[in-house]
Amino acid sequence: MADERFEPKIIAFLCNWCSYRAADLAGTARIKYEPNIRMLRVMCSGRVDPSFVLKAFALGADGVMIAGCHPGECHYLEQNYKTMRRFSMLKHTLKAMGMEDDRVRLQWASAAEGVLLAGAINEMIEQVRALGPLDWPKNWSENGKIDEAIEQLVEEHAEAMEVPV
């Protein structure tokens, strides 16, 4: 078991107009990338609210990629600039939360860049694999033996209320 390779789960948000088509292109061109990535298509990388990324981590993702059109080439003119600023803000916050930088990645990929996207995916999977499992929910799951302590409290209350003879 100990020798088994860690297989990270990575969630990717890809924009409809460039990056998702890059992923499609990678598929039709039979460019291989590792299967650790789960892709979600959004209309624009500007649609990706930081809460999507946070939620992915809270549900157990090991890494999150956001991919969109290159700056200046957004289908919706300038929304990916908002993605850029939002990503910087998100990364700043995640760092303060104690999360490694490499667990999030912003990747620009045009519809013609299937090779580039596949390469970025593989690179990110390797980086996250090296970091190991994130298992974020574990951070709040261990508060001690709550039920035991609570059962004991009832007894303590009873004891405290006993009138000394």
Partner 1 sequence: MSEKGVLALYWAASCGGCEIAVLGINEKILDVAAAFDIVFWPCVLDGKVRDIEKMDDKSIDLCFFNGAIRTSEQEYMARLMRQKSKVLVAFGSCAQEGCIPGLANATTKEAIFQTSYHDTPSTVNPDGIRPQTETEVAEGTLYLPFFYETVKTLGQTVDVDYYLPGCPPEPERIWDAIVAILENKLPAPGSVIGAETTVCDECPRTRDEKKIKEFKRTWEIIPDSDICLLEQGLVCCGIATRAGCGALCPTVGSPCIGCYGPNEGVDDFGARMMTALASVIDSDDPEEIDRIIHEGIPDPIGTFYRFSLAHSELRRIALPANGGSDAKLETAESA
Smaller CB separation from partner 1, 23 or 125: 125
If one asks whether residue 55 binds partner 1 (CB under 8 A), the answer comes out as yes
CB hemisphere CA count around 99 (13 angstroms): 26
Size of site (CB under 8 A) for partner 1: 46
Asked if residue 66 binds partner 1 (CB under 8 A), the reply is no
First to last CA, the chain: 61
Regarding 86 and contact with partner 1 (CB under 8 A), the answer is: yes
Q: Supply the angle between the helices 114-131 and 19-28 in degrees, to the nearest 10.
A: 100
Q: Which amino acid is at 155?
A: E
For 157, residues 6+ apart whose C-beta sits below 8 A from its C-beta are none
Residue 92 binding partner 1, by CB under 8 A: yes
Nearer CB in complex with partner 1: 24/126: 126
- Say if strands 63-68 and 37-42 run parallel, antiparallel, or are unpaired: unpaired
Q: Which of 16, 50, 116, 127 binds partner 1 (CB under 8 A)?
A: 50
Among 68, 109, 72, 59, residue whose Cα is nearest residue 86: 68
* x-or-dash string of contact with partner 1, 100-139, rule CB under 8 A: x------------------------------xx-xxx-xx
Give the single-character DSSP code of 99.
-
Residues that bind partner 1 (CB under 8 A): 49-51, 54-55, 57-58, 71, 78, 81-82, 84-86, 88-90, 92-93, 95-100, 131-132, 134-136, 138-140, 142-144, 146, 149-150, 152-154, 156-158, 161
